[in-house]
Amino acid sequence: MKKTLHYELSDYFGAAVASKALNHPRPRLSIRHADCSYFVNGEAEAIEQEFDGHYGYLYSHDLWLEEPVSFTIQVDMADLHVLYLMDGQEEIYLLDALQHPICTIAPGRARYLYLPEERYYLSVPESYTQLFGFYFDGQLFRQGNERPFRFLHALIEAYRREATEPQYSIDFRVGPRTKARIQYLLTHLESGQLNTERFVLDGLTELLLISRDKVLEEYEMSSAGKLVAEKVQKLLQQYVAQEGQEFRLSQLGEDLQLSMSYIKRAFLAQYKQSLSSYKNDLLLEKSKLLLALGTSISAVAYDCGYNSLGAFCHFFKKQTGITAQAYIQGLDADEGLTNPSAGS
């Protein structure tokens, strides 16, 4: 991807130097095969890393500052951006060309940005700050696949109509899951390999999905989570009725265009029961109904999606503590008690 975002660090630090000139020669977040630049101005230091991928341009900055600094940022082309404040003591400020505030990012938080061609400034406080970011072609969102990303709709629309004003999303938490995914992506990059571009695209897509989950959890969980759980319950009932145990829970994520981790959390929060446990309850309810109707055990096993009688019998006993045959006998005994004339 063409480099279109330029942090003009040399305006403050001067020309790049060799890494050995720094007291902190290693970044805390390393990007494998990245182009690295090192800067020094008195006691202040900076390390810039950049990795050019076909589907996204990745970068990071480690900054050790003795005073607050506003760094110039030049954007050559409108794109969608993500900026993570991975570590820092205070929030940072993104400013427009007139140095009017656009938005802030707090430590351990991140935002998506739509930045049209323009000059911007990033105001960074003194002490240590660690930034990670990437930008990507907004055409990644197409054919309606942006629908689940409601918090990005305004930015995507601004990109599509080539808006001249910058836009920013609500901020979201950079938690352990996000950090682990970023670390995995950056430490497994390969240079000049055919499969690298696919790996980068998959990694950026996963970060998009994680950020969507973070927004849902923090801002929409109480209402959206309840709706998701209710949809999942209805889908599970339909799928188990049609496919029995052959139904795979992963299908729910594909149907709802949500990550399975979020679906599991939403369902558990709403119903105090795991997806697999509820699926088993539905299977047991279906099998008991069929057995009560006089369906043979082998036919029930088939109707419930089991490929062997033994597998069904193992499931039934595990769930009820008795065999399917014992359950039928119990039904017959109950019928005899309620209808004494049946045996005369």
What would the DSSP string read from start to end of 14-72?
-S-B-GGG-SS-S-SS--TT-EEEEEEETTEEEEEEEEE-SS-EEEEEEEEESS-EEEE
81 contacts 138 by C-beta, under 8 angstroms: no
Find the mean pLDDT for residues 43-52.
96
Mean pLDDT across 331-338? 63
Rg (CA), the chain: 28
Please compute the mean of the pLDDT values over residues 156-166 and round it to a whole number: 96
Amino acid at 122: L
pLDDT range class, residue 334, cuts 50, 70, 90? low
Confidence of residue 117 (pLDDT cuts 50, 70, 90): very high
Phi-psi region of 272 (alpha: psi -120 to 50; beta: other; left: phi over 0): left
- pLDDT bucket at 143, cuts 50 / 70 / 90: confident
Q: What is the pLDDT of residue 344?
A: 39
Q: Which of 23, 9, 6, 134 is nearest to 69 (CA)?
A: 9
Give me the mean pLDDT over the 269-275 stretch: 92
Domains, the chain, with CATH or none: 5-218 (2.60.120.10), 287-339 (no CATH)
The proportion of the chain whose per-residue pLDDT surpasses 90, expressed as a percent, equals 76
Q: Which pairs from 177-181 meet CB under 8 Å and 24+ separation?
A: 177/210, 178/84, 178/110, 178/207, 178/210, 178/211, 178/214, 179/86, 181/206, 181/207, 181/210
Count CA within 13 A, CB hemisphere, residue 32. Answer: 13
Of 185 and 341, more confident: 185
- Residue 342 binned pLDDT confidence (cut-offs 50, 70, 90): very low
- pLDDT number for residue 53: 85
> Per-residue pLDDT for 240 more than 80?
yes
Whether 243 has a pLDDT exceeding 70, the answer reads: yes
DSSP H or E segment with residue 303: helix 297-303
| pLDDT band of 336, cuts 50, 70, 90 | low
Please report which confidence band the pLDDT of residue 160 belongs to, taking 50, 70 and 90 as the band edges: very high
Across 313-337, average pLDDT: 85
Contact status, residue 253 vs residue 260, Cβ threshold 8 Å: yes
- pLDDT of res. 193: 66
CA distances from 103 to 58, 82, 210, 263 (A): 21, 13, 22, 31
- Residue 47 one-letter amino acid: I
Mean pLDDT of 138-156: 89
pLDDT for 233: 95
Q: Which helix (H) or strand (E) holds 290?
A: helix 275-292
User: For residue 92, is pLDDT > 80?
Assistant: yes
Q: Which residues of 184-222 are buried (b: 16+ CB within 10 A; e: fewer)?
A: ebbeebeeeeeebeebbbebbebbbbbbbbbbbbeeebe
pLDDT of residue 237: 94
Distance CA 114, CA 157 (A): 10
- Provide the pLDDT for residue 312: 96
Averaged confidence pLDDT in the chain: 91
Burial class (CB in 10 A: 0-12, 13-18, 19+), 309: middle
Hunting for tokens 């030049």 — which residue is that? 74
Query: Where residue 220 falls among pLDDT bands split at 50, 70, 90?
Result: low
Cα–Cα distance measured from residue 107 to residue 89, given in angstroms and rounded to the nearest whole number: 7
Judged by average pLDDT, the poorest of 41-50, 91-100, 155-164, 222-231 is 222-231
For residue 335, pLDDT over 70 is answered with no
pLDDT band at 218 (very low <50, low <70, confident <90, very high): confident
Q: Which tokens is 24 given?
A: 């902190």
Above 70 in pLDDT, residue 265? Answer: yes
This prediction's pTM: 0.65
Please give the average per-residue pLDDT across 271-280, as a whole number.
Answer: 95
